[in-house]
């Protein structure tokens, strides 16, 4: 970030009177620094400032007082709280009280302060919906994303379901030189293969029955901009070959056409699958993986960026409560949100907030209004040899009961596998897609795919359409 000479930073610290080396360095770089204590603070200094930095030690209400003062003056200046790196709970409270972001009080590097100010400036100029960068992990992710955006390279986004991959893809587009072009998003797992091919590549008039006019595909529609391919790990092997050619040749041929069309697009793909494992299973092409992952960005789960939880919740509330009294979160509700493990990530948080807004009959959301999904996700990686068997069975299996484990548990193991097979087959029969079947079973699509593959290897009848 290039800090303009007009930027004013009000540095409020009741513990230190002498200017620190970092303040002197920032002043030499062109920032106007006003160092003061809360007692000596004047309204005019806040009114004309761009950024407020407060040192929070024992008096957490300092953040509340500063936020109230800013509101009284109709000031939109961002508020940075400096908190001891070891006091995680104090950092959470500072966010609850209204801090825009929290940084370690020990932060002395000029580059770190430039990065913090750059992120705040970018967030104020280009507001990001549905993604918050309050946690240091998120701020680092945003900084990396915006650096990658400047380079016209194919990007692969990985991360758990509901973590915000599409939002980050939009940020990649908005921060890139292609920001004025279209942003086209497509879910590769949402439709049958023949429809996916038609939507992506387009067709010429008369190329098949019902093609009454020419139709440009989504790749063409993204000309000059970005195309986002979500759930890329669910793309069929046949379409993977075509996508690889597009990445190599940078052109596309519509269905029924002879002449290729040159493309000027950026491709961003996303998946919650382990593509390297899929390569080993021969369900994903290795050469396509390396083409897509020219730069790979991993989005951490929500539980790994806890300082984002409350700001996200506040954002979801403000998006829904447009008129009337402002709805707030009680201290107990805030504590419950922060302490919950969020297996469904940001999407689950949004659902919990929506439910609470429906349930509450007042302007305060309390702990009793929070209805968590509380799903226990058991994946093959955690229990590689157990299928759908429980944690309790694992404990029984390791208990010495004076007899051979094979004699005691082999019939039970067969019964469990048979029951698992029947349950999965019933779910597939009654579902329109593999994704719907996985949802009804309460497992991820990736887990369902692994289970189907294992059932086939054990000789059970599973159609290849579902086993891929």
Q: Where in the chain is the domain with CATH 3.40.50.2300?
A: 8-125
| pLDDT for the residue numbered 41 | 75
| CA-based nearest residue to 268, from 334, 190, 183 | 183
CATH class of 302-369: mainly alpha
| pLDDT for the residue numbered 194 | 73
| pLDDT for the residue numbered 323 | 62
Q: Please provide residue 160's backbone torsions phi and psi, each rounded to the nearest 5 degrees.
A: -70, 160
| pLDDT for the residue numbered 34 | 84
Element (DSSP H or E) covering residue 279: helix 275-280
Q: Where in the chain is the domain with CATH 1.10.8.60?
A: 302-369
Could you list the beta-strand ranges (E) of 188-280: 202-203, 215-216, 226-230, 251-252, 261-262, 266-271
- Is 180 strand, coil or helix? coil
Q: Where in the chain is the domain with CATH 3.40.50.300?
A: 150-298
| pLDDT for the residue numbered 382 | 38
**405 is written with which tokens?**
């484990």
- pLDDT per residue rounded down to tens, the chain (468 residues): 344 456 788 888 877 766 777 788 888 777 888 888 887 776 556 666 678 888 887 778 888 888 777 777 766 678 888 888 777 667 767 776 777 777 888 777 777 777 677 656 655 544 444 467 778 888 888 888 888 998 999 999 999 988 889 889 998 998 899 988 999 999 888 677 777 888 888 888 887 777 788 888 899 999 999 999 999 999 988 889 999 999 999 999 888 888 889 999 999 999 999 999 999 988 999 999 999 999 999 999 999 999 889 888 888 887 776 666 778 899 899 999 999 999 989 989 989 998 998 888 788 899 899 988 765 444 443 333 333 333 333 333 333 333 333 433 445 456 566 677 777 887 777 777 778 788 777 788 878 887 887 777 776 666 544 434
| pLDDT for the residue numbered 153 | 93
* C-beta neighbour count of 384 within 10 angstroms: 10
CATH class of 150-298: alpha beta
CATH number of 8-125: 3.40.50.2300
DSSP 84-108: -TT-HHHHHHHHHHT-SEEEETT--
CA atoms lying within 13 Å on the CB side of residue 51: 25
How many residues comprise the chain? 468
| pLDDT for the residue numbered 409 | 41
């Amino acid at each position: 970030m290039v800090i303009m000479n007009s930027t004013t930073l009000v540095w409020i610290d009741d513990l230190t009177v002498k200017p620190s080396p970092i303040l002197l360095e920032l002043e030499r770089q062109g920032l106007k620094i006003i160092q003061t204590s809360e007692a000596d603070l004047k309204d005019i200094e806040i009114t004309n400032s761009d950024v407020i930095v407060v040192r929070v030690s024992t008096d957490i209400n300092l953040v509340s007082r500063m936020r109230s003062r800013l509101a009284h003056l109709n000031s939109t200046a961002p508020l940075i709280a400096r908190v001891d790196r070891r006091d995680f709970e104090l950092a959470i409270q500072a966010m609850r009280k209204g801090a825009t972001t929290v940084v370690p009080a020990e932060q002395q590097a000029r580059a770190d302060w430039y990065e913090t100010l750059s992120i705040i400036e970018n967030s104020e100029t280009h507001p990001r919906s549905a993604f918050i960068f309050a946690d240091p992990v998120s701020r680092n992710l945003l900084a990396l994303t915006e650096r990658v955006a400047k380079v016209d390279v194919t990007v692969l986004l990985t991360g758990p379901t509901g973590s915000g991959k599409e939002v980050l893809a939009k940020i990649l587009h908005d921060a890139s030189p292609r920001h004025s072009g279209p942003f086209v998003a497509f879910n590769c797992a949402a439709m049958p293969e023949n429809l996916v091919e038609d939507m992506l590549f387009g067709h010429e008039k008369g190329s098949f029955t019902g093609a009454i006019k020419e139709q440009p595909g989504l790749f063409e529609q993204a000309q000059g901009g970005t195309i986002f391919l979500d759930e890329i790990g669910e793309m069929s092997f046949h379409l993977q070959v075509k996508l690889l050619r597009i990445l190599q040749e940078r052109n596309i041929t519509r269905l029924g056409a002879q002449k290729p069309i040159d493309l000027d697009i950026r491709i961003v793909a996303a998946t919650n699958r382990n593509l390297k494992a899929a390569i080993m299973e021969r369900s994903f092409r290795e050469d396509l993986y390396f083409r897509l992952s020219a730069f790979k960005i991993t989005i951490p789960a929500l539980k790994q960026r806890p300082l984002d939880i409350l700001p996200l919740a506040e954002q979801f509330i403000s998006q829904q409560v447009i008129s009337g009294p402002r709805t707030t979160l009680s201290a107990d509700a805030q504590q419950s949100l922060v302490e919950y493990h969020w297996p469904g990530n940001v999407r689950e948080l949004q659902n919990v907030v929506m439910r609470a807004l429906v349930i509450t009959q007042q302007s305060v959301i309390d702990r009793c209004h929070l209805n968590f999904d509380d799903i226990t996700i058991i994946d093959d990686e955690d229990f590689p040899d157990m299928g759908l068997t429980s944690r309790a069975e694992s404990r029984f299996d390791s208990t010495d009961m004076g007899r051979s484990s094979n004699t005691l548990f082999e019939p039970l193991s067969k019964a469990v596998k048979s029951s698992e097979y029947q349950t999965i087959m019933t779910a597939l029969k009654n579902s329109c897609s593999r994704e719907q079947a996985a949802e009804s079973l309460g497992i991820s699509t990736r887990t369902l795919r692994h289970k189907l593959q294992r059932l086939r290897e054990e000789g059970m009848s599973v159609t290849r359409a579902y086993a891929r």
